[in-house]
Structure 1
Amino acid sequence: MEKIAFLGLGHMGAPMAARLVGTQHPLTVWNRNAEKAAPLVAAGAALAPTPAEAVRGADVVITMLAGPAALEAVAEAIVPELRPGAHWVEMSTVGPGAVGKLAARLGERVTLVDAPVVGSVDRAAAGRLAIFAGGAADGVAEILARLGTVTRTGASGSGAALKLVLNAAALGGIALVAEALALADALGLDEDTARAALAAGPLGGAVGRAHATDVHFAAALAAKDLALATEGARLPALDAVAEHYRRAAEDPATAHEDIVHTVTRIRRTS
């Protein structure tokens, strides 16, 4: 019975960890705000007061954190406590650079799998996430299958790289929809007519996400993801998109709200 430690119980981490409660794998959880762990503890998970205590004796460690800085802080705390032969499944959106640094830090003692996800809280709760796994994922295949559908992407870091590509495309499309609607506003078009026409075209998926009400992807996290993406290549169009999300992330009214509020902001300020 492999012991699992799950670190990070935010909007995505909490429903993902809930998928592992009640399985044959004893589950220990940790979160910076311990109150968020209460439903998991009530369902049978153990709560650790620190990251180090969470991973002590664990066979599999899963991290779902806000970004590279949070990952670095957790790594500093847990690397000395990791059991030789353990698997670390890093599921945050941190980019291949952060994964590479972590892999170098772990060496051969621990198997690192980068396995970021696509999907929001509804798909996380239902175990229907799309998971992009880089590195040697065979040892955690059964656990990942409880969280969603796994696509093997290749060598270590490739899952993190593909996640940046997908997020950049999605966030760029949503920003383009917002600007197209701003143009429709300026030209005096009826909003429902403009939205319906856009939804019937190649940006249909982005139109739906730009007006979704049952998901959550904070503007601050979107800005972080685009910053990681535009560090990796010269991307003039995405630089402009990133500026939209950066401004939304700097605004207390929208920073921690879903990106649908960023769409409204773009339309208002374009």
Structure 2
Amino acid sequence: MKKIAFLGLGHMGAPMARQLLAAGHPLTVWNRTAAKAGPLAAQGARVAADPADAVRDADVVITMLAGPQAVRAVADAILPLLRPGVHWAEMSTVGPDAVRELGARMPAGVTLVDAPVMGSTDKAEAGALGVLAGGDADAVVPVLSRFGPVTRTGALGSGAALKLVVNTAVIGGVALVAEAMRLADALGLDESTARDALARGPLGGAVARAFATDVHFGSDLAVKDVALATGTTELPAMEAVLAHFEAAAADPAVVHEDIAHAVTRIRRHPGKSHEQERRSP
């Protein structure tokens, strides 16, 4: 069995790491907040003191981190230690530019794969995520398959690109449902009646995600993903969505909560960004 180093034990990373332990892989884990590694240590994982310690003997390195800056910081720490033959599966949502930037830094003989996932914490717990694998993923498909079905997307960066498209659609759909419910509120409609009608229409999946209670994707992460999308090309509708989630992320009560909590905020407040609200008289 391949020795795996898993870096990043947040809401998604921890259940994914448990899938690897359940499959019998020798696993070393690291997380910036060390306490989050405790439950995995109790299940047999070795807890590393730092990223460099985590990857020292690894055959496969997996990162599931908050964003591009976190990935760059980990790369600075581990790249000098990656030996020829090691495969790095970068599974965070960072966008294709960050993946290609990272690929250009790989030492000789080290292979980078971008493999972000579709699905939230419930799918991670069940081993039923959808893995979008870009680059030369042949050697790591058996490992990635522990998280769920693997879709090969093409060249390095294509997995990250497709994940950005998927997340943009999901987050935009959730914001649209929230605005539709805001309209229903303004028109005095019964909430359950309006919600059920939307759920039976083409936005049914977005309705389910907008009112989900057993998953987690924070408003701050939604801001990061939509900002990556709107920084890539002109997306006027998503600029408005970004304003909604920027406002939610500026609210301490909502910032780290699932985007379903932002739905309530959108229904109650205009879609101004934090910066716009600051400038308002």
Contact 1:220 1:256 in 2 (8 A): yes
Q: Distance in 1 between matches of 2:94 and 2:189?
A: 40
The offset of 1:23, in angstroms, is 3.4
Where structure 1 has 5 or more consecutive residues not aligned to the other structure, the ranges are none
Tell whether 2:148 aligns with 1:178: no
The offset of 1:107, in angstroms, is 5.0
User: How high is the TM-score relative to the length of structure 1?
Assistant: 0.98
User: How high is the TM-score relative to the length of structure 2?
Assistant: 0.94
The offset of 1:249, in angstroms, is 1.1
Tell whether 2:175 aligns with 1:169: no
- Which residue pairs with 1:14 in the alignment? 14
What aligned pairs does 1:25-174 form with structure 2 within 5 A after superposition?
A: 25-174=25-174
Contact 1:249 1:255 in 2 (8 A): yes
RMSD: 0.9
Structure 1 runs, 4 residues or longer, greater than 6 Å off: none
The offset of 1:257, in angstroms, is 0.5
Tell whether 2:194 aligns with 1:194: yes
The offset of 1:2, in angstroms, is 1.7
Q: Which amino acid in 2 is paired with 1:112?
A: L
Q: Which amino acid in 1 is paired with 2:57?
A: G
The offset of 1:24, in angstroms, is 4.1
Contact 1:29 1:45 in 2 (8 A): yes
Q: Which amino acid in 1 is paired with 2:25?
A: H
Q: Distance in 2 between matches of 1:9 and 1:63?
A: 9
- Structure 1 residues 61 and 41, CA, compared in 2 at 3 Å: closer, same or farther? same
Contact 1:22 1:44 in 2 (8 A): no
1:195-237: CA deviation from partner (whole Å, max 9, x where unpaired): 0111111101111111110000000001100000111111001
- Which residue pairs with 1:268 in the alignment? 268
Q: Which amino acid in 2 is paired with 1:200?
A: R
Contact 2:223 2:242 in 1 (8 A): yes
- Which residue pairs with 2:226 in the alignment? 226
Contact 1:174 1:206 in 2 (8 A): yes
1:123-180: CA deviation from partner (whole Å, max 9, x where unpaired): 1011100010000110001111111110000000000000000000010011000000
1:77-108: CA deviation from partner (whole Å, max 9, x where unpaired): 00011121100000000000100100001154
Q: Distance in 2 between matches of 1:153 and 1:104?
A: 19
Q: Secondary structure at the match of 1:21?
A: helix
Q: What is the identity percentage for the equivalent residue pairs of Structure 1 and Structure 2?
A: 68
Contact 1:114 1:157 in 2 (8 A): yes
